Structure 1
Amino acid sequence: MKQVLLFFFGLMMSIAANAQTTVSGKITDADGQPVPSASVTIEEPGKDAIMAFSISNAKGEYKVTFTSAGETVDLKIKAFNQKPVFRNIKNQNQTLNFSLESDATEIQEVKLKTRMITKKGDTITYDLKAFESKADRTLADVLKKIPGIEVNGDGSVLYQGEPINKFYVNGKDLMEGGYGTVNNSLPKDAVQKVEVLENHQPVKILQDKVPSENAGLNVVLKKSVTMTGRGEVGLGMDPLLWNVKLTPMFFGQKNQWVVNYKANNNGESVEKEGNLLGFGNRWEGRRGQAGQKSWLNVETAATPDIPEKRYLMNNVHFFSANVLTTPFKSKEWELKASASYTNNAIERSDRNTDTYEAGSTTVPNGGIYISESANNFYTNATKGELIVTKNAKKGFFKNTTTWNGYWNETNAAIDNVLPVFGTDNVNYISGDQFLNSPSGVFQNSLSTILPWKEKLFNVMSYISYQKDRQTLDILPGSYVNSTGNFPAAALYDRLRQNASSESFNANHSASVGFSYKKWTFTPELGLNLSFNKLQSNLAGANGSAFTDFGIDYRNDNEWNEVIPYTQVGVNFKSNRLNLSMNLPLNFYDITYQDNFRNSYQETRKAVLEPNLFATLDFASFFKIWAFAGQSYDFGNFGSFYEGQIFTSPVSLRERYNRMPENLNRNIGTRLEYRNPLNNLFFNVRYGYNTNRRNLIEQFSGDAFNSTLSLIELENTTSSQTESAEIGKYFPKFKTNASLNFSNTDSNGFSYFNALQESKVSRQNFGFKFNNTYFSFLSVDYNISMNWSAQKNASQNRVTKSSGWNHNLAAYIYPIENHTIGFFWDELHTSVREQNFSNAFFDLSYQYTWAKKKIDFEVKWLNIANTDVFERISYDPTLLLTSVNSVRIRPSQVMFTVKFNFK
């Protein structure tokens, strides 16, 4: 790995050495006056291939930097009403001034065209009008068609395959990472252009000092003060369906707000729009998506690999409100407040048939297990957040206070058919499961950066407190003893597993940054604290009185971490080369204590966990990245507990041995090409990761009841991934197309009654395009194909599988304001000569009242009335073939009215 890393850096430094040729000067006209906006291009001799370009400023000055191995290059200058200049020059740093001759041209007809993609510095600007189709209504609809950009169902945006770190509207970050609501509901007609801010450093005082590896996105509206938004109201049948979306928005120069209410029972998970999709960077403080600790679970039905609207049986109400204001005279200070509430009920059911071959480590004699699951998930969740920010060139301040509350319930009804080994008989086992899981989370994050003489002083503080309580009821108790592994449970009508935990975390740090030329050095001291407590017990009841199972099924544990650290950040930023290194020395002091059993373990280690990334721009449109890092994992809260816990009704677990010690190392590189002149984007990636572990999870039991424990066994897993993606927009044909391919090779170890090593090789291929060439037709299509080979290295068995799925959306415009839509989703899986196909078709008709900008839509979903999704998989490690059948939504018809707020 060291040799590979040295190769990458040697490559980058060699490129950097060749990327220093700069030609600069001044361009004037025949009267000696400066010529602004003249284009200066550098080309290979004898070829019409642009290596670099520049535009002269108002003073007529230009500067162009390029990379070339040749002795000479061609320089061309073009300017309006001036004769072009061509000159073959030496490939060396030099200053060249030019005086142009006038060449006035009589223009009989002028037709102005706006370039659909333009680039200036690190900003790429997209003209939205150039990419939209007649069927598009929101910003997200159009972004999906832009080369280099991807949009997921929750509204999250990827640029060159990586998540954006900021989503601005008119330069303001109202949503603070939860931008899915705006992306999915902002009318496209309100947007003038979209800007991608490459290498975006959101903290202004750190710009030109600390580089960033992520891009930001800025949505520029047509008006500086805009009242807009999107709404939908729909009704349907078979069964009774409804859908309401109301999202008014206001974007002003001092104030912005978005109010969002969405509710439906037609299979759309609108509550995901409230998730954090972008996280800024570490200098803004610590902020992440809060969630519950899942100590206990019921058995759950599977979800199929098809669009969620096909299978989600929901009844959801989601409300959110976001406000941004500048309360002080200084516009640098902003106050942001947000609140949300989710009430959601989901039904899900499936049937799973597991066939074990003779010789399986799980079921040595082989057998068929059949399980039917029916679930109800009830979610009640609230969130409130207050953010105070000052983001200026002379200082930065940000304090974020967040509170989350959850009151969730889940139940399951399970029917199993289990073989009785040695006979031709089967057991029919049924059980009911109920889980209640309330939680509360409080977080506060503070970060401030102040100039101190020639230095930057940064203080960061983060505290959080979380409390989780979970209660799992299993009826009857004999359910967990179906194969005789837990005979004591059969004495009770009900088993109750309780688990509760409390966690307090505090992270504090102080650093001083100082610059020397293009270098910035940031020494830092910090202290990370984490104090955690877990309590659990198992009890059985006949009637209302519960009896504890004893100390073997009880926990009263503490897991505490005190981690002081020191690190030095080194950053280099020039016009083309960015380098960022963090060299932290962490002192881990981790203790585990069991108050019931008086057991105690401790880890004390000082380790170096460096990480770095570097980027280099060369040959105008190319960029190469390099990544490397090393980190240790000495376990976390939940890694250890000696008392046994039913983490699910079929899994009894204890986790106790010695303290874990994992070492993770990774390297990677990425080559990007982004050329707005010919609308071409591509990237090639490579990544390698290893994880060395001292412990392995040991499963024992059969396919229905299993017990997990930890055993001491050193093992190393690794994975290697190569991928490539290319996308291009063809203006002549109004088509955006992209191809992607990836290959992953990995190995892993598992212990289910015996040690097993598996090796997996996976390939994925994807193609997508959209076309709006014809005035009467627009098409969106994508297809994904996959192949895999799984090898049980312990038994030298290889199993191959494959699959593909595609999605087609075609819109026909027979006459003005009328739209007919056809939609086709299909998924195919193939394992060991067994094949399953699932196809779904929809049809829609939409009439647009153009004057009022109101759409009236009738949509027929799942025309074939397919009610079950089927797929197959095979595990060569367990010699297991699984066939899964999931209940999906039946055929249904919806009538919807869609409109914009003005």
Structure 2
Amino acid sequence: MKKNISLFLMLFFTVLTFAQKTISGKITDDDGVAIPSASVTIEEPGKDAILAYAITNSKGEYKVTFTSAESNVDLKVKAFNQKPLTKQINNSDQTLNFKMQSEATEIKEVQLKTKMITARGDTISYDLKAFNSKNDRTLADVMKKIPGIEVNTDGTILYQGNAINKFYVNGKDLMEGGYGTINNSLPKDAVQKVEVLENHQPVKILQDKVPSDQAAINIKLKNSVTMTGRGEVGTGFGDPWLWNVKLTPMFFGQKSQWVVNYKTNNMGEQVENEGNILAFGNRFEGKRINASQNDWLNVENASTPNLPVKRYLMNSVHYLSANYLTNIDKKKEWELKANANYTNNAVNRESYSQTDYFATSNQPASRVTQNIFNNFYTDKAKGELIFTKNAKKGFFKNTTSFSQYWNADRGIVDRTDGNSSRHGEEAIESPTSSFQNSLSTIIPWNEKMINVQSYINYQTDKQTLEVSPASYLQIPGFMTATPSDIARQNMRLKTFEANHSANLGFSAKGWTFTPEVGFNFKTTDLVTDLSNIRAIPSTNPNIPNPKPESYSNDLKYTTATPYGSLGVNYKSESWMIYANLPVNSNNIKAEDPLRLVSKSVNKVTFEPNIFAQYSFASFWKASLTGNISNNFGEVNTAYSGFLMTSPNGINAMDATNPIPQNNTKSGGTRIEYRNPLNNLFFNLNYRLSDVKRNLISSPVRNEAGYTTVKYLEQDNHTKNNGFSGEVGKYFPKFKTNASVSYSNNTSTSDAYQNDKSYESKNNSQSVGFKFNNTYFSWMSVDYNFTISRTKQTNTSETPELNNINSRNGFNHNLGVFFYPIENHTIGFNWDQVNSSAGTQKYNNGFYDLSYQFSWAKKKIDFELKWMNIANKKVFETYDINAQSISYTRIQLRPSQVMFTVKFNFK
């Protein structure tokens, strides 16, 4: 392992240092006047391949860096109304100035042509027309086909494999990271181009002082004032009657922008996630989170398949959102943003599972079957108010948000284990209230900057889980029910968190230093009560029977962390370095006197985070990262009274166990290439980590398949290393975009099972391919597939724990659209998901057929779509792991037919 890392790092630094040369100078005309926007390219003699390029600035100056093993290279200069110039030069560092001769260009006809991909500085621009097909309607449809850009299933946009940090429309951040609504509903015809802003620092006062390794997306519209949007209204036949409504009007002006969005359907579209924050900006903007519930308690959940959500989601959803931005001063430096959304969603889910547990020295082999039917009900609302000033001479941002949940879940379970069968009805009510306020301001002071940040969060979670009849909870050798119809678990969590910091930044010769002091505080109160069940009396005199207080908790968990840190940043044309070097004083305390819980940790830690990136030869970037972090657990690691987190598990921590202490060391390297001149993008990544823990879990399974988890105080490690790479290229001649990706990840960890230790090693590999083609006027094709393999190896001195299990998978999606007559489209979609483990193989195929007529004059589409033509009603899968073999059958959406009218608002 160490040899591989050393070899990789040696190759990495060899790439950085081998034959790098820099040529600079000035381009002028015959009269000595500077020529801006002239292109300077470096090529190897006799080869039609550009090694590097540069564009002259307003003073006619250029600088180009390249790598070549040749002794001589060709330098070419081109500019409008100037005679092209070519000169062979030595492969060495030098300064070269050129005078170009005027040469008027005779234009025989007026024809405007736009390059598909252009680059200027850190901005790469994509002409949307070059990548769309006749069937595309929205921005998201086209974004998925652009080389170097990927759109995940949750809507997250990746550039060169990394998530973006900002999403702008005409330079304004209306959505504050929740850009899914615009991406899915902005008509492609309103967009002029998509810009990738590499190394984007969103805080203007920090630009050229504090670098960033993340990219941003800016959507440049055709008009500076645009009223647009997208709508769909559909109905269909199925069981039950189907509907689908999407109404998303938008306005983008120079002073204000707004988006209103209402979507409802019962046909399996997961529209409620469009409001999630996908891009979190820069740490100097303050802290923003996707507010969520502390859902400790759950009914037993039916399984979900590895399929597109539309294949199995039985839903009835209503999602309403509104986003508004306006400038509130004449200089347009201050912005007010108001965002709100509301979700009402009901989901049904059903699955059957049969699990065969292997025999161990403590337990014989056993079989457990379960049939689970669920109803999940989501009611939530969120409001957010943001004041922002983002100017070269100062920064201010205050974000206030409030979230409220009124969720409820239901479960009906039939369970068979051993010789017993049980029927249980489960219900949970879980209201949650959450309030956050985040403030960050940067004030210039002479040549320095003062940054003050404050974050406050208060959240209450109240959950009540009921199981009827209580006898369903009989767990052999552990718990039994009292004579009662209902077993009930009550839980309440109150959490208060406050983070405050101040730093002073000053710059010198490209370096910026930011010393900072801060104080982080968090306290959580946990109150629980478990009623109508009792422990089976122990026959072992050394194991005391539980006392009445064992069925409740009243725990206070507090973390106080004062810290001091030094930020170091450097930026030049080639180098970008930033590091944060904090020293933290961690003070953690957990107290529940009645349960005899009294734990504390007082420890000083040094947790550096370092990043370095080097740009060379115009198209290349190489980077190294490293960090050390510590985690000391949360309130869920400290309670000792029984807690029914689910009807199939009643848990308690050992009061004598110390507070967990987890130390993580990680590092990685990355090489990236993006060449807009030949439409080629690729990246290679390697990362490794080592997590050291002071506690190790030791699960013990009984014959009914229930598992009791206890923790042992013993140092243990989990080590991970992974490699990934992706290559993507657009072929203009064939109107084809293609990419290939590969990943290989290995995790090795110490583990316990039934009081026996073993080493568990998991290796997962995957190969992916994406392809889309619009070469033919009568057809377009989108195709992607993934081949995966997972192998688990358990090694122990105990023979019963030694085993090797593997699982193979193949997923592919094919979308073919035919255009036999103008304005008529016939579409075919094929989803295939295959899995195999041992001798068991399951193939799951799904087919859709559609016909669309486009009323071109009114920009209205009429679509008739038949989904799941084969009427496949269940998904089957087979899994093997260290302790068991499982067969699962999951209910799917049946065949359905939809008629939809789609239109633009303008």
Same fold by TM (over 0.5)?
A: yes
Three-state SS of the structure 2 residue aligned to 1:655 is: coil
Letter in 1 for 2:670: R
Equivalence for 1:372: 371
Unaligned runs of 5+ in 1: 420-425, 543-547
Indicate yes or no: 2:288 matched with 1:287. yes
In 1, distance between residues paired with 2:448 and 2:21?
Answer: 32
CA contact (8 A) 1:743 1:763 kept: yes
Three-state SS of the structure 1 residue aligned to 2:141 is: helix
Letter in 2 for 1:175: M
In 1, distance between residues paired with 2:641 and 2:533?
Answer: 20
Letter in 2 for 1:767: F
Q: How far has the Cα of 1:588 moved from its partner?
A: 0.2
1:379-778 correspondence runs (5 A):
379-419=378-418, 426-487=419-480, 489-540=481-532, 550-656=548-654, 657-702=657-702, 703-754=704-755, 755-778=757-780
Q: How far has the Cα of 1:482 moved from its partner?
A: 4.8
Q: How far has the Cα of 1:105 moved from its partner?
A: 5.6
Q: How far has the Cα of 1:833 moved from its partner?
A: 1.2
Q: Aligned pair in 2 of structure 1 residues 294, 19: CA closer, same or farther (>3 Å)?
A: farther
Question: Bigger CA drift: 191-200 or 70-79?
Answer: 70-79
In 2, distance between residues paired with 1:660 and 1:512?
Answer: 34
In 1, distance between residues paired with 2:44 and 2:113?
Answer: 29
CA contact (8 A) 2:372 2:411 kept: yes
CA contact (8 A) 1:765 1:786 kept: yes
CA contact (8 A) 2:779 2:819 kept: yes
Q: How far has the Cα of 1:31 moved from its partner?
A: 4.4
In 2, distance between residues paired with 1:389 and 1:360?
Answer: 64
CA-atom RMSD in angstroms: 2.0
In 2, distance between residues paired with 1:588 and 1:60?
Answer: 55
Q: How far has the Cα of 1:793 moved from its partner?
A: 1.1
Equivalence for 1:176: 176
Q: How far has the Cα of 1:490 moved from its partner?
A: 4.5
In 1, distance between residues paired with 2:751 and 2:644?
Answer: 21
Q: How far has the Cα of 1:98 moved from its partner?
A: 1.8
CA contact (8 A) 2:357 2:705 kept: no
Equivalence for 2:537: none
Letter in 2 for 1:759: K
Question: Bigger CA drift: 641-650 or 98-107?
Answer: 98-107
CA contact (8 A) 1:539 1:549 kept: no
Question: Bigger CA drift: 107-116 or 862-871?
Answer: 107-116
1:387-407 residue CA offsets vs partner (Å, 9 max, x unmatched): 000000110000000100001
Q: Aligned pair in 2 of structure 1 residues 183, 375: CA closer, same or farther (>3 Å)?
A: same
CA contact (8 A) 1:650 1:704 kept: no
1:801-824 residue CA offsets vs partner (Å, 9 max, x unmatched): 201011111111110111111111
In 2, distance between residues paired with 1:61 and 1:689?
Answer: 45
Q: How far has the Cα of 1:23 moved from its partner?
A: 2.4
Three-state SS of the structure 1 residue aligned to 2:184 is: helix
In 2, distance between residues paired with 1:39 and 1:172?
Answer: 30
Equivalence for 1:255: 256
CA contact (8 A) 1:717 1:747 kept: yes
Q: Aligned pair in 2 of structure 1 residues 738, 512: CA closer, same or farther (>3 Å)?
A: same
Q: How far has the Cα of 1:151 moved from its partner?
A: 1.2
Equivalence for 1:264: 265
CA contact (8 A) 1:429 1:482 kept: no
Indicate yes or no: 2:845 matched with 1:845. no
TM-score, normalised with respect to structure 2? 0.95
In 1, distance between residues paired with 2:155 and 2:82?
Answer: 48
In 1, distance between residues paired with 2:163 and 2:357?
Answer: 41
Indicate yes or no: 2:861 matched with 1:855. yes
Question: Bigger CA drift: 197-206 or 147-156?
Answer: 147-156
In 1, distance between residues paired with 2:84 and 2:189?
Answer: 40
Letter in 1 for 2:235: L
CA contact (8 A) 1:19 1:65 kept: no
Equivalence for 1:895: 899
Three-state SS of the structure 1 residue aligned to 2:193 is: strand
Letter in 1 for 2:351: D
Match of 2:878 among 863, 872, 879: 872
In 1, distance between residues paired with 2:13 and 2:398?
Answer: 40
1:680-726 residue CA offsets vs partner (Å, 9 max, x unmatched): 11111101011111101222232532222222121101111111110
1:187-223 residue CA offsets vs partner (Å, 9 max, x unmatched): 0010000000111110011111111111100000011
CA contact (8 A) 2:597 2:640 kept: no
Q: Aligned pair in 2 of structure 1 residues 105, 528: CA closer, same or farther (>3 Å)?
A: closer
CA contact (8 A) 1:12 1:616 kept: no
Letter in 1 for 2:526: L
CA contact (8 A) 1:728 1:737 kept: yes
Unaligned runs of 5+ in 2: 535-545
CA contact (8 A) 2:19 2:69 kept: no
CA contact (8 A) 2:869 2:895 kept: yes
Q: Aligned pair in 2 of structure 1 residues 351, 642: CA closer, same or farther (>3 Å)?
A: same
CA contact (8 A) 2:670 2:683 kept: yes
Indicate yes or no: 2:824 matched with 1:824. no
Identity %: 56
In 2, distance between residues paired with 1:116 and 1:833?
Answer: 49
Letter in 2 for 1:323: Y
CA contact (8 A) 1:404 1:442 kept: yes
Equivalence for 2:159: 159
Three-state SS of the structure 2 residue aligned to 1:141 is: helix
Q: How far has the Cα of 1:27 moved from its partner?
A: 2.5
Equivalence for 1:423: none
Equivalence for 1:545: none
In 2, distance between residues paired with 1:525 and 1:727?
Answer: 44
In 2, distance between residues paired with 1:130 and 1:509?
Answer: 48
CA contact (8 A) 2:305 2:890 kept: yes
Letter in 1 for 2:226: T
Q: How far has the Cα of 1:56 moved from its partner?
A: 2.9
In 1, distance between residues paired with 2:603 and 2:218?
Answer: 45
In 1, distance between residues paired with 2:185 and 2:19?
Answer: 44
Question: Bigger CA drift: 636-645 or 554-563?
Answer: 636-645
Letter in 1 for 2:788: N
Q: How far has the Cα of 1:416 moved from its partner?
A: 1.1
Equivalence for 1:798: 804
CA contact (8 A) 2:624 2:668 kept: yes
In 1, distance between residues paired with 2:748 and 2:621?
Answer: 31
Equivalence for 1:422: none
Aligned length in residues: 886
In 2, distance between residues paired with 1:279 and 1:783?
Answer: 30
1:234-276 residue CA offsets vs partner (Å, 9 max, x unmatched): 1111220001111000000000000000011010110000111
In 1, distance between residues paired with 2:360 and 2:551?
Answer: 33
1:179-194 correspondence runs (5 A):
179-194=179-194
Q: Aligned pair in 2 of structure 1 residues 16, 805: CA closer, same or farther (>3 Å)?
A: closer
CA contact (8 A) 1:25 1:96 kept: yes
Equivalence for 1:66: 66
TM-score, normalised with respect to structure 1? 0.95
Q: How far has the Cα of 1:597 moved from its partner?
A: 2.9
Letter in 1 for 2:603: K
In 2, distance between residues paired with 1:199 and 1:455?
Answer: 23
1:854-901 residue CA offsets vs partner (Å, 9 max, x unmatched): 1111111111111000111100x21x1111110000011111111111
Equivalence for 2:22: 22
Equivalence for 1:119: 119
Question: Bigger CA drift: 244-253 or 598-607?
Answer: 598-607
Q: Aligned pair in 2 of structure 1 residues 521, 818: CA closer, same or farther (>3 Å)?
A: same
